[in-house]
Chain A
Amino acid sequence: MNQLIEQLKVQIIQQLNLEDVEPQEINEDEVLFGGDLGLDSIDALELIVLLEREYGIKIKNQEEGKEVFVSVRTIAEFIDQNS
């Protein structure tokens, strides 16, 4: 799980073009949206593509997306359960 979390942090930084953010600066339990990272609905769409492309997992709708994209940890858990 920890390995998956670290891998996700790198992928998220790359996918969302979070310049100047280092993987270790992201706390896996920190809220992704509405928090310090300043992510918004476009980022949510980017993350949906990331999960589908890298892990072959499809997010069915916005509601499910909201539950999955709470933090890096919740994304990792979702991947773990669905792969």
Chain B
Amino acid sequence: MVKRVFVTGIGIISAIGNNLAETITYIKSSATGVGTTKYLDTAHRETFPLAEVKLTNEQLHERIKMPNPEVYSRAASLGLLAAREALASAQITDIEAHRTGLISATTVGGMDRSEPFYQNFVKKNEMEGVEVLLTHECGDSTEKIADALGIHSFVSTISTACSSSANSVMFGARLIKHGILDRAVVGGTDALTRFTLNGFNTLKILDEAFCQPFDQNRRGLNLGEGAAFLVIESEDTADKDRILAELTGYANTNDAYHQTASSPEGLGAYLAMKNALDRAQLQPSDISYINVHGTGTLNNDLSEGRAMLRLFDGNLPMFSSTKAFTGHTLGSAGSIEAVLAVLAIQKGWIYPNLRFKNPIEELAIVPVTELKQELAIEHVLSNSFGFGGNSSSLVFSKYH
């Protein structure tokens, strides 16, 4: 139980780049991934901007280089690309050399393939192509990724709404600490679907303009898509020269306030952050940077901000929401931001909270608005909260 868990590889694909190198370029130029809807076939194309991965399904299928690529849902394709990049970055070639697990996360799984089937089923009562429903389940994308990577020791999938992939990082770490696995590929993947877009639209929390997290004038969130995976390893197997960061803290709590809304004082968020710091044996003052959940909705940002003010008690570290770059990628948000946390430690970066203008009156707190470089980042706190009250926080630390 005392085993340390290290991050040795990262992989990412989102609206700000199809891989890590492209992501770095986007961030350096402070270019947002949010834009006019181009790839998702939806009646709301003209109404809501989205943060889409800039590839068609056909282009994704070319990139995954698998036999029968057409049976890969968009989420499975995105996930496979990010997981492969993570393994390559950890320079792992022999997956069987150690007990390696895959723990993925998603909210809608293969929904993108189910929607056209249901279109015919609902309108014409036709059942042609019913076999696509076999890829509907969340576990399908995980199994496709595991099979492509040759992972057999352990697979699992988590779905806790917008905190899903922070929880897969946590579960992987615990399995390593218990000696059940030596290393794990952990993260999440979610593709944009009409189901998600229309669903969020019923809640009236989508911004018709580009979102402005933590701004007084925030109007809602922009949905995004993508995948990110991390390779985490036990101290017994990790090559010390390849350690990118250490996962020192994690916590999962529940807000227990409302099915979709956060409590006004952000109790779940407060407890998640506090418990994660406790596990890492850190004081609030040790944190260099918080990558906030920061969706840009009226409710989340105020609630999260209050929880931060309570925990950090007038001594708030630098913080920003990277969702202004990536959109809210739901099931993959936690791992995308975990990858960005590791990158922040590696590069000494703090990301700008794009489009921020005025602080929220009730909070009077100001995020970082320009890319900060060459900082000594010791500890990054990464927040992911979701429907059902699910609240998770991770702490990544510089490896010493």
Contact = CB atoms under 8 A, between A and B. Distances in A.
A49 to B, nearest CB: 8
Interface stretch (B35-43, B175-183, B253-261): B253-261
Contacts of A62: 204
Contacts of B260: 41-42
* Size category, A interface: under 10
Interface in A27-59: 40-42, 45, 48-49
B203 A45 contact: yes
Contacts of B259: 42
* Size category, B interface: under 10
Contacts of A48: 204
B258 A45 contact: no
B93 interface: no
A40 B258 contact: yes
B202 interface: yes
A42 B259 CA distance: 9
Nearest to B299: A41
Nearest to A49: B202
A40 B261 CA distance: 10
Nearest to B202: A45
A41 B202 contact: no
A45 B200 CA distance: 12
Contacts of A49: 202
Nearest to A61: B204
A83 to B, nearest CB: 22
Contacts of B204: 45, 48, 62
Nearest to A44: B204
Chain A CB within 10 A, most for which of B203, B204, B258: B204
Contacts of A45: 202-204
Interface of B: 202-204, 258-261
Interface of A: 40-42, 45, 48-49, 62
12 contacts: A40-B258, A41-B258, A41-B260, A41-B261, A42-B259, A42-B260, A45-B202, A45-B203, A45-B204, A48-B204, A49-B202, A62-B204
